[in-house]
Amino acid sequence: MLLPAQNDHPQDWMMPTRLLDLDDPKLRIQSLRITQLATTETQKAVLIHDYVKALPFGCVAGFDHVPAAAVLKAGRGDCHTKGTLFVAMLRSVGVPARLRFVTLSSAFLKGIIDVPQGTITHAIGEVFLDGHWLQTDTYVTDSLLETHAVELLVQQDIHAGYGIHARGSHFWDGQHSAHAQYHLSDAASLPQRDWGVAHDPEYFYRDDAHEELQRGWLTRVKWMLAAALVNRRVEQIRTQSGPLARQPVK
C-alpha cells in the first residue's frame, strides 16, 4: 500500500519549480489549447492526460534535470519526464498535481532493458480532483507501444514486460486511480517501497533522504548509453510485428 502524503493541502502543489516552468509561453498556450472546451477540473485533467499519453514513450538520459517545456519540445518521454510535463500542464491550468515515487520490480521492463539490480524507481502522477488525490501512470506508455506490448505478453504467456503489466490499465477516467505498470492481483508487481511525493524529479532526487537513489557520474554515463538502446528497442516494438513477436524475453 502507498503511504499517505505528509502534506495534503492542494494549494501547496501549485507552485512553479525549475523543472515545472509554468511561465513558459509554449507550455501555457498548449495547456490552454488542450483544455479550452473543458468545463470541469476533471475534464481538464483527462484531456491533459490523453495529450501526454499520445506522446511516444522514450527513455531520457538526464530525466531528473529536464524541464517540462523541454519535454514538450522533445515530444516524447518516460515516467519521470512525462510525469514532469503532466504535472506542469495541470498546474498551469489550475489543477493541483505532484509526483509520487515508488520502487517497483523491473519485470515490467523485460524485453526493453535488463536492470541488474532488479528494481527501478518509478514516478506516478497524482492529481487533486473532487476533494481527493487520484493516481495515474497510464500516460507513460503510448497506445501504439501498448498494443504491441499486449500482443507480445499474450503470445509469451507472461504478466509483465515491454513497459506494462498485462492486467494494467491503459486509460484514465479522472475518477479512479489507474496504473499501467503493476496490478493489485499480482503481488510481485506491486510497489516494494513508497518514497513519498515531490514536486518533480529534481526535488525528489536531491533530497538527502533519498541519497541511496542518487546516481553518480558513472551511473549517469551508463544510463546515457542505455537510453539509446532502449529507444531503439522501443521503436522496434512500436512499429514491428511478426518476427519480433516470436523473440523471447531476455
Using one digit for the tens of pLDDT, what is the confidence trace for 156-196? 999 999 999 999 999 999 999 999 999 999 999 999 999 99
Domains of the chain as residue ranges with CATH: 10-244 (3.10.620)
Q: What one-letter code names the amino acid at 242?
A: G
CA–CA gap between residue 7 and residue 14 (Å, rounded): 13
pLDDT digits (tens, 9 = 90+) for 22-76: 999 999 999 999 999 999 999 999 999 999 999 999 988 777 789 999 999 999 9
Percentage with pLDDT > 70 across the chain: 86
Note the residue count of the chain: 250
Please state the rounded mean pLDDT for residues 67-90: 96
Q: pLDDT grade, residue 208 (50/70/90)?
A: confident
On whether the CB atoms of residues 212 and 23 are closer than 8 A, the answer is no
- C-alpha grid cell for residue 152? 507480445
**3-class SS at 216?**
coil
Residue 243 has a pLDDT of 47
**3-class SS at 26?**
helix
Name, in order, each residue with C-beta under 8 angstroms of 94's C-beta and a sequence gap of 6 or more.
14, 41, 44
Mean pLDDT, the chain, whole residue set: 88
Q: What one-letter code names the amino acid at 102?
A: V
**3-class SS at 128?**
strand
Res. 209: pLDDT tops 80: no
CA–CA gap between residue 92 and residue 96 (Å, rounded): 9
Residue 222 has a pLDDT of 57
- C-alpha grid cell for residue 56? 511516444
